Structure 1
Amino acid sequence: MATPLEPFGIPASPLIHPEVEVIEAENLRWARRLGLVGDARGEERLRRARIAQAAARIAWHAPVERVVLFAQWLTWIIVIDDLQDEAGPGLDSGAVHRAYARLEGILEGQGTDADAPAVERALAELWSRTATPMSRAWRERFIGHVRLQRDAFIEQTRLRRSGRVPTLDEYPRLRRHTNSIFAFDLSEPVYALEIAPALLPAWLALCEPINDLMAWCNDIVSVARDAADGETTNYVFVFQHALGCDTPTAVARVRGRIQERWKDLATAEQALRREARRLALDTPGLLRLTATLCQVPSAHLGWLLESSRYQSWEAPIASP
C-alpha cells in the first residue's frame, strides 16, 4: 500500500536551524552513550529517521544547546513510542502501568540503577538537565501530562487486545494524549520562558490543535505500517470503520479534518493573544514563542516528508 503523503491542505515549512549538523552529531553521540542505539544499524536508523532534523525544524531559532536537548527528548519519545507500538497486541495494560510507574518515579526524584533500561537512564539524565531551572508548577504540569499519556497508552493497549476500533468521538482525545502531550511543555525550557499560570488555559487551548494536526498527519503517513501491524488506533481506520468506506475515502476525510483543525489553530492563536493583552502578559518573548509554536505543524510536516520513519516497517530502535 503506497503511503499517501500529499496534499494535507497545510504548508510544509522549509525553516531549519543553521547548526542542524551539529545537533545531529550531538544527538547521535548522546543516544550511543545512553544505549538507545546499540550498533551501527541502530545509528543508521536514527540518522534516516532524522529526529535531529525534526528538532531543528521545530526549534529553528533557539540556542543550539537547547535544540540539542530537545532533539534528545524527541529521540527518547520515539523510543518509548516504538516500544509501545512494536509490543503489539501481546502487551497488557499492567505492563504499561508498571513501565510508567518507573518513569514517573524518576520524574519525582527517584534514582536509577546503573543496570536500569536505557530509556530509564536516558530519562533521568534528560530530566535533571531540563527541570532544574523550571518552577515546581511546571514540573507538576509536565508529570501530569506524562500520566495522561500513560492512561491513554493503557486505553490503547486494551483496544488493541480487544481488536475494537475507537469511535469518531473517542479517537481525537485518545490520540492527543498518546501523542506525547508533555512535549509541548518542553517549548518553555527550550526558549527559557515559562507560561504564567493565568495564561495557561489559553496556552493549552493553543497546544491542542497543534497536537491534533501533528498526530493526524502522522496517522496518514503511517497507514501502510499500521495496516501491516493490524493497528486499530489510527484516524484513517476509525473513519473506515465508522463510515464503511475504503482507504482513499477515509484518508480524504482525515485530510478534511486536518484542514478544519488548521483554521481552529488560527482562532486559538488569536484568543491567546487577546488574553495575553488583557493580562498584560504580551511580552515580546511570549509573542515570539506563540508564533513559533503555531509554525510547529508546518515544521513537523516538513520532517514527515523527509524522514524514513514511515516509509517501511522496522523494529524499534531500542529494546526494553
Structure 2
Amino acid sequence: MPFRSAGCNPGMAETREAAWKWAETNGLALSPVSRKKMLRTRPELWTSLIFPSASQQHLDLFCQWLFWAFLVDDEFDDGPAGRDPRMCEAAIARLVDVLDGAEPRGPMERALEGLRDRTCRERSAVWNRQFRRDTASWLWTYYAEAVERAAGQVPSRADFTKHRRDSVAMQPFLDLHEIAAGIDLPESARSLPAYIALRTAVTDHSGLCNDICSFEKEAVLGYEHNAVRLIQRDRGYSLQEAVDEAGIQLARITERIQRAEKDLVEEIAAAGITGPVREALERCVRDYRGLVRGDFDYHARAERYTRPDLTEIDVRDTLSQYFAA
C-alpha cells in the first residue's frame, strides 16, 4: 500500500460511547443479534481511521451517520425488504423524503432527520446539493438490487462497477470530509475532470476492498452483487483465482488514484485556480490518500470482516499479499 497510515483519531473511544448513546436516545433498539453484529462492525474504528484529525464533535457525527448506514445496509442486504421490491421502494422513498425535509415516522427516519439537521444546516447550497445527491443515490441502489434479485438478473461486471460507486456509500463520506477539513468546494472545482476521476477511484477502491472482505458472508446469503462473485462467475474461476484477480484490480485502482492526483495538479494550474480553492483541492489530495489507507486498514481489523473460520480462503492474507504495510 503506497499510502501511509495516519493512525486512529484519539477520540475513538469517546465516539463509540456517543454512538451507542445516540442509538438509544433515538429509539434504535437493536436485537441481540443486531447488537452483536454492530459491535463486530465497529463504526467508530472506520471513522477514526478515515478522519484521524477530525474534532470530537465531527467524529461523533460521522460515526453516527455510519452507524445508521450500517443498520440500513444490513436491513436491505440481509432482511426481507431487500427481497421485496415494493417493500424496498416504499422504505427508500420514505428515507429520501425525510432527507428532503418530510416529517419522519419511525425511529430510523427520526434518526435520519437529526443527522440531516446537524450536518446540513451550516453548509452551502452547493455542498447540500452534492450531499443530497450522493446520499439518495446510495439509498436507491438497494431498490435496484431488490428488483434485479426478484427478476433473477445478475449485473455485468461493467454495470456493477458503476453501480458499486453509489452502493458502497463512500461518496457521502467524501462530502463529509469537507466538514472535517473546513472546506467547501465551489461547483467549478467539483467539475474538474481529475477531481471527479480521483473521487471515482477512491470510491472504486473502497467498493472492491469491501467486496473482497465480505464475499464469504454474502456468498452464504446467495448475494450476487459482489465483484468477487461476478469475476468468479464470468471467468469460470475458482474462489482463490477470483480473489487473486480482484486483488490485482485493487492495485490498479491505486495506480488510478495516483494518476488522478497528478492530473489534478495540472488542471489546477491550467484553470488558473489559486487561493483558498487551490488549497482546498490540495487538501483533498492529501486527505484522500489517508482515507484510502484508513478504509483498507479498517477492513483488515474489524471483526465484521476478519472471520477466523474461513475455510476455502483467508481474505486477510490475500489482501496483504498485494499491499505491503
Please give the range of the TM-score, normalised by the shorter of the 2 chains. Answer: 0.7 to 0.9
Contact 1:50 1:303 in 2 (8 A): no
Q: Which amino acid aligns with 2:125?
A: R
CA pair 11-37 structure 1, distance change in 2 beyond 3 A: farther
Separation in structure 2 between the aligned mates of residue 84 and residue 308 of structure 1, nearest angstrom: 21
Deviation at 1:283, TM superposition (A): 4.2
Identify the residue that residue 124 of structure 1 maps to in structure 2. 113
Identify the residue that residue 172 of structure 1 maps to in structure 2. 161
Separation in structure 2 between the aligned mates of residue 131 and residue 182 of structure 1, nearest angstrom: 12
With 287-296 and 131-140 compared, the bigger mean Cα shift is at 287-296
With 269-278 and 252-261 compared, the bigger mean Cα shift is at 269-278
Q: 1:82 aligns with which of 71, 74, 84?
A: 74
Q: Deviations over 1:33-67 (max 9, x none)?
A: 22334366654543332110110110001111111
TM-score (norm 2): 0.85
CA pair 284-37 structure 1, distance change in 2 beyond 3 A: farther
Unaligned runs of 5+ in 1: 1-8, 313-320
Contact 2:82 2:143 in 1 (8 A): no
With 214-223 and 29-38 compared, the bigger mean Cα shift is at 29-38
Unaligned runs of 5+ in 2: 308-325
Deviation at 1:190, TM superposition (A): 2.7
Identify the residue that residue 141 of structure 1 maps to in structure 2. 130
Q: Is 2:174 aligned against 1:184?
A: yes
Deviation at 1:275, TM superposition (A): 2.8
Q: 2:240 aligns with which of 248, 255, 259?
A: 248
Question: RCO (CA 8 Å, sep 6+): is it higher in 1 or 2?
Answer: 1
TM-score (norm 1): 0.86
Identify the residue that residue 219 of structure 2 maps to in structure 1. 227
Q: How does 1:206-285 map to 2 (within 5 A)?
A: 206-277=198-269, 278-281=272-275, 282-285=277-280
Identity of aligned residues (%): 23
**Which of the pair is proportionally richer in helix?**
2
Q: Deviations over 1:185-242 (max 9, x none)?
A: 1112232311111110233321111111111011111111011001111101111111
CA pair 221-104 structure 1, distance change in 2 beyond 3 A: same
Separation in structure 1 between the aligned mates of residue 203 and residue 86 of structure 2, nearest angstrom: 27
CA pair 285-227 structure 1, distance change in 2 beyond 3 A: same
With 160-169 and 250-259 compared, the bigger mean Cα shift is at 160-169
Q: How many residues align?
A: 302
When the two chains are superposed, the root-mean-square deviation of aligned CA atoms in Å is 2.3
* SS of equivalent to 1:256: helix
Contact 1:153 1:178 in 2 (8 A): yes
